[in-house]
Structure 1
Amino acid sequence: MISHPSSFAILGAGLMGRLLALALARAGHRVSLYDQQGADAQGSAARVAAAMLAPLAESAVTEPGVVRMGEHALVRWPQLLAQLPEPVFFQQNGTLVVWHRQDAVDAARLRLQFETTRTTVPTLPAMEALGSDRLTTLEPALAGRFAQGMYLPGEGQLDNRQLLAALTHALVQAGVTTHWNTPREVTDFAPGTAGQPDWLLDCRGLGARHQWSALRGVRGEVVRVHAPEVTLQRPTRLVHPRYPIYIAPKEDHLFVIGATEIESDDLSPASVRSALELMSAAYAVHSGFAEARIVEIATQCRPTLPDNLPAVRQSAPRVLEINGLYRHGFMIAPAMLDVVLQLLSTGQSPLAATFDLSVQLL
């Protein structure tokens, strides 16, 4: 579909916009990237995310196609990170799931979901049921705190803010023309005409609601803390009937704690109730969080389509829209990237069929 070299305008410099801009520029195309915010990605859902790469864990709330996209990402992220000009924290120590005795029924239901997922996606590593001794061996920081748990090997995480910063520097090196604090609409361009880019890619997330009316916001709230007394070695999820949480350990005892999901596009500060629930649940996992220092309490809305699944659509000739990544942005972004690159190259994507991804072309 695209000739070499072509010119691209990309709207939205969140995770997808930056990945696409970099890949296209490195392939020899001319790329201009527009965003209504600055280079620090303050307006992006990617800045607030925990950036966990947990396809089996996320199978509790999503479809097999998204799980396959997450499996794809675990291979692709190390490749993508290796091409960046500075290191980005990446860890693949698996995911730990724990629960208190009174929540054993919910944990059993979750275990059944994991087992069902592996019948659909058998290439995923098998979940390991843990007794207290094995749990202590795997995660010494939780010794004596839980009687049992589940270990999901092979799952990973990365540092989202390090990644966004590294992508910014890589864009400069690749010759991408960046237009920060410059909001643009699809209607501002006429791709393929004189003086216009050859292609327009819309990656604006909720910023594209005027163009894609089905989009809605799902609000999430995240607490970042510095906890020198806590030495968790991998993302840990607490099964709880009301506020199941995740704790994602980054470098230097920084932890991202989150899980709230509210059907709202409200971007006001987090409520006291949400903050208390998140931090109380973290304390229930490890008492060392009592002495942690709160670095940040952040809110953001994830761009979500009615089925909670991502999609690619062509709304006009030479205009592709990529959206609906919901809570799975970092887990599925490499798959979305590779699908879009295939579509631009050949007009079709075998990968999209593998991922059951909705692709609507004219």
Structure 2
Amino acid sequence: MTARSPQRVAIAGAGLLGRLLAAQLARAGCEVQVFDPAADPLARGAAGWTAAGMLSPVAELECADEHVFALGLRSLALWPGIVQALGRPVDLRFHGSLLLAHRGDEGAARRVVDLLAAKAPSGHAPQVLDGAGLRELEPEVQRLPNAWLLPGEGQIDTVQAMQALAETAAEAGARFHWGSTVVAAGAGHLQLEGGRRIEADHVFDVRGTGARPQLPVRGVRGEILHLHAPGLRLQRPLRLLHPRHRVYIVPRPGDRILVGASEIESEDRSPISVRSTVELLTAAHSVLPALAEARVVHTETNLRPALPDNLPSLHVEPGLTRINGLFRHGWLIGPALVEQALSSSMPTP
């Protein structure tokens, strides 16, 4: 009997979703090709590079629905296995996250916490922390009158993960075609800029904003600051609840702290504005006074891919799967969406 040939898979886009798909499909024995306009694996065009990597399904219920929450919970269960299979250092923590509010913002903060408690299933509601409880978890956080713990939530170092996913996929046999822009994706084929056509048994279109005009996706600008704060002991992400904007502070290895993130309805990719810088750093310093001597070492802006309803979309038809619109939830829900896509679109290699 003749052995069946490997499934030929073409992936349009090498952001987080494209790398997750490439790594899993290549390890499963598929013949995988990935096409992306970026110059190389470390070019930071994809939104996944810029994200802080918070894995916070409960916190996101403020602006997301129960479907995103369910995908987030599933992804929390999937991430440890994904990281273990990479065989490379990727910082992944599940120490929970904190919601914080200043005294003058107590009313607005409690409305958010009440909303989360109402939408979250039993066992996932925010837990009130008194001053002693807050100091025990994060001694360097300013003594704020309003604090809540979201247990079980986590974070991942997005830069380490993006690098490791591409390296693992390539080692498993996936071929990455950098500097290759896909202008159209259809069942069983990709059309590249310049006219070249790629044939495949199955196509995955995960181009984010690059999927236009085939999808009504828009980019939502986000801005983030990278700080170096030697000696600052922060174990988990912090979210400052404010009536006008949300600020998060996320620790990373090597005495690094991320502060973000603005959410602006614009596709401007220019550097971070003075206004955003002042607002983000002022808010962060009000929570962590020790940041006064931190150094701003890097800033980034990028575009989150969003559909008109701000919800993720997974579309499967013979020969073609499209995943898009992950908006601000890419690292939170990406693994679960990839799992669903593979289970519904791919035969066993």
Give per-residue Cα distances to partners, 1:106-139, cap 9 Å, x unaligned.
1110111121122xx33x5332101111111121
Contact 1:4-1:28 at 8 Å conserved across structures: no
- Greater fraction helix: 1
Kindly, what percent of the aligned residue pairs are identical? 41
* TM-superposed deviation, 1:148: 2.9
Q: Counterpart of 2:124?
A: 125
CA contact (8 A) 2:224 2:299 kept: yes
Report how far residue 296 of structure 1 moved: 1.0
User: Match of 2:151?
Assistant: 153
Structure 1 runs (4+) deviating above 3 angstroms are 187-192
Q: Deviations over 1:142-173 (max 9, x none)?
A: 2x521230000000001000001111210121
Write out aligned runs for 1:1-362 (5 A): 5-37=6-38, 38-118=40-120, 121-122=121-122, 124-142=123-141, 145-186=143-184, 191=189, 196-212=199-215, 214-314=216-316, 317-345=318-346
Paired residue secondary structure (2:180): coil
Residue 107 to residue 188, structure 1, CA distance change in 2 (3 Å): closer
Q: Secondary structure at the match of 1:59?
A: helix
- Decide whether the 8 Å contact of 1:36 with 1:181 is kept in 2: yes
Q: 1:82 to 1:4 in 2, by over 3 A?
A: farther
Quote the offset at 1:269 in angstroms. 1.1
Q: TM-score under structure 2 normalisation?
A: 0.92
User: Are 1:7 and 1:30, in contact at CA under 8 Å, matched by a contact in 2?
Assistant: yes
**For 1:221-246, what per-residue CA distance to the aligned partner results, in whole angstroms no more than 9, with x for missing partners?**
00010111421110001111122200
Return the alpha-carbon distance in structure 1 between the equivalents of residues 247 and 185 of structure 2: 41
2:240 and 2:36 map into 1 onto residues whose CA distance is 36
* DSSP 3-state at the match of 2:148: strand
Give, as a single letter, the amino acid of the residue that structure 1 aligns with 2:249: I
Mapped to 2, the partners of 1:45 and 1:7 lie a distance apart of 27
Q: Aligned partners of 2:283 and 2:185: how far apart in 1? A: 46
Q: Residues of 2 paired with 1:271 and 1:195: CA distance?
A: 41
Cα deviation, residue 289, structure 1: 1.1
- 1:359 match: none
Q: Distance in 1 between matches of 2:24 and 2:282?
A: 42
Q: CA deviation at 1:290?
A: 1.4
Moved more, 130-139 or 320-329: 130-139
- Aligned length, in residue pairs: 338
Give the superposition deviation at 1:33. Answer: 0.5
AA at the equivalent of 1:204: R
Q: Secondary structure at the residue paired with 1:267?
A: coil
- In structure 2, do the counterparts of structure 1 residues 274 and 220 end up closer, same or farther at CA, with 3 Å as the change threshold? same
Instruction: Give the 3-state SS of the residue equivalent to 2:77 in structure 1.
Output: helix
Q: Tell me the amino acid that sits aligned with residue 311 of structure 1.
A: S
Code of the residue aligned with 1:64 in structure 2: it is E
CA distance in 2, matches of 1:180, 1:94: 37
Deviation for aligned residue 1:200: 1.2
Amino acid at match of 1:6: Q
Q: 1:339 to 1:188 in 2, by over 3 A?
A: closer
TM-aligned CA deviation for residue 195 of structure 1: 7.6
CA contact (8 A) 1:243 1:259 kept: no
**Cα contact 1:89–1:158 (8 A) shared by 2:** yes
Distance, in Å, in 1 between the alignment partners of 2:60 and 2:23 is 28
Give CA deviations for 1:255-280 in whole Å, capped at 9, x if unaligned: 11102111111111111101111111
**TM-score, length basis structure 1:** 0.89
Deviation, structure 1 residue 55: 0.4
- Whether the 8 Å CA contact 1:206–1:215 is kept in 2: the answer is yes
* Alignment gaps of 5+ in structure 1: 348-362
- Cα offset, 1:217, TM superposition: 1.0
Any idea what SS the aligned residue of 2:110 has?
A: helix
